[in-house]
Amino acid sequence: MPHGDLPLFYTFHFYLFGLLSIVAAVMFVTRKSPVAAAMWLVFTMFNLAALYVLLDAQFIGVIQVLVYAGAIMVVFLFVIMLLNLGHASEISDMRGSAGKVLAGLAGVALLAMILAVTRWRVPDVLALPPDEPARQIEQSGVIAPFAQPLFNQYLLAFEVTSVLLLAAMVGAVVLGKQRGTTRGRATDVS
Q: Which range among 21-35, 48-62, 78-92 shows the weakest confidence by mean pLDDT?
A: 78-92
Q: Residue 124 has what DSSP assignment? A: T
Q: Where are the domains of the chain?
A: 1-127, 133-190
CA distances, 142 to each of 50, 121, 123, 135, 153 (Å): 20, 25, 24, 11, 19
Neighbours of 38 (CB within 10 A): 21
Q: pLDDT tens digit string along 160-189?
A: 888 887 887 787 777 767 665 665 555 555
- Kindly state the average pLDDT of the residues 138-158: 79
CA-based max dimension of the chain: 77
Instruction: Please spell the DSSP secondary structure of 58-95, one letter per residue.
Output: HHHHHHIIIIIIIIIHHHHHHHHHHTT---GGGS-S--
Q: What residues contact 141, with CB distance under 8 A and at least 6 apart?
A: none
Helical spans, DSSP H, in 85-131: 97-118
pTM for this one? 0.53
Residue closest to 158 by CA, chosen among 87, 79, 54, 63: 63
1-127 in CATH: which number?
1.20.120.1200
Q: Residue 126 has what DSSP assignment? A: T
Higher pLDDT, 6 or 185: 6
pLDDT for the residue numbered 65: 85
Q: Is residue 58 scored above 90 in pLDDT? A: no
Q: Is residue 56 scored above 90 in pLDDT? A: no
Q: pLDDT tens digit string along 88-132?
A: 555 555 566 777 788 788 889 888 887 877 777 767 777 777 787
- Kindly state the average pLDDT of the residues 8-21: 88
pLDDT category, 1, cuts 50, 70, 90? very low
pLDDT for the residue numbered 71: 77
Asked if residue 21 lies in contact with residue 48, where contact means CB atoms within 8 angstroms, the answer is yes
